[in-house]
Amino acid sequence: MKVEGLLPDTSRKTADFARDFILKNPGHLKQLLELSYSDDHLVAMRSARVVYLCFEKDQSLLYPHFEEIAEKIHQLTDSSAIRNLLHLFIGQLEKLPEQSMGKLIDFCFRHLEDPASKIAPRALCMELILEASEMVPELQAALKSIVAMNIEDPPGAIRSKINKIELMLNKSALK
């Protein structure tokens, strides 16, 4: 069966149906992940959303694929797919081998430095770098620099994330 056939539109009902199919047939998860890396905007967006919905229901299903996702996220072009796949790593960085975490964090820094990057993935990148800085304190200085660059008239959606990260970095500096 082709998993792509489960994603004819972007409705929540379709996404939930595809999620339930994957949860009952986890052997098709690999195919769904491959679709998430597609250059086709609609295919990548729809499949990455279902990947995230599967993760919400059963995180352990995705853990074996974390390393691959961290390795391949840099090739994504769709901001929705990037956002959905970045969500998988929030609070889960310790599940990644050090090298894969390094590649993911490198992706996050490069994404933050790209002025064409969309707001939601940038906010998630900041959050992931902040989490990683708890394990690798040297990242805090670089994150402070990035936050300072993003502070100049940021859109409202990222403003609260910047405030939260500044607060966390300041607390960390007091320790």
What would the pLDDT profile of 9-57 be if each residue is shown by its tens digit? 999 999 999 999 999 999 999 999 999 999 999 999 999 999 999 999 9
pLDDT score for 145: 83
**174 confidence band (pLDDT: 50, 70, 90):** very low
- Which of 117, 48, 31 has the alpha carbon at shortest distance from 86? 48
User: Rounded to whole angstroms, what are the CA distances from 65 to 33, 82, 140?
Assistant: 9, 15, 28
Please say if the pLDDT value at position 171 is more than 90: no
The model's pTM is 0.88
CA atoms within 13 A on the CB side of 154: 21
Of 45 and 166, the structure prediction assigns the larger pLDDT to: 45
Please say if the pLDDT value at position 158 is more than 80: no
pLDDT score for 170: 72
Please say if the pLDDT value at position 118 is more than 70: yes
Of 55 and 143, the structure prediction assigns the larger pLDDT to: 55
Of 77 and 162, the structure prediction assigns the larger pLDDT to: 77
Mean pLDDT value of segment 66-74: 96
Mean pLDDT value of segment 150-160: 64
**163 confidence band (pLDDT: 50, 70, 90):** confident
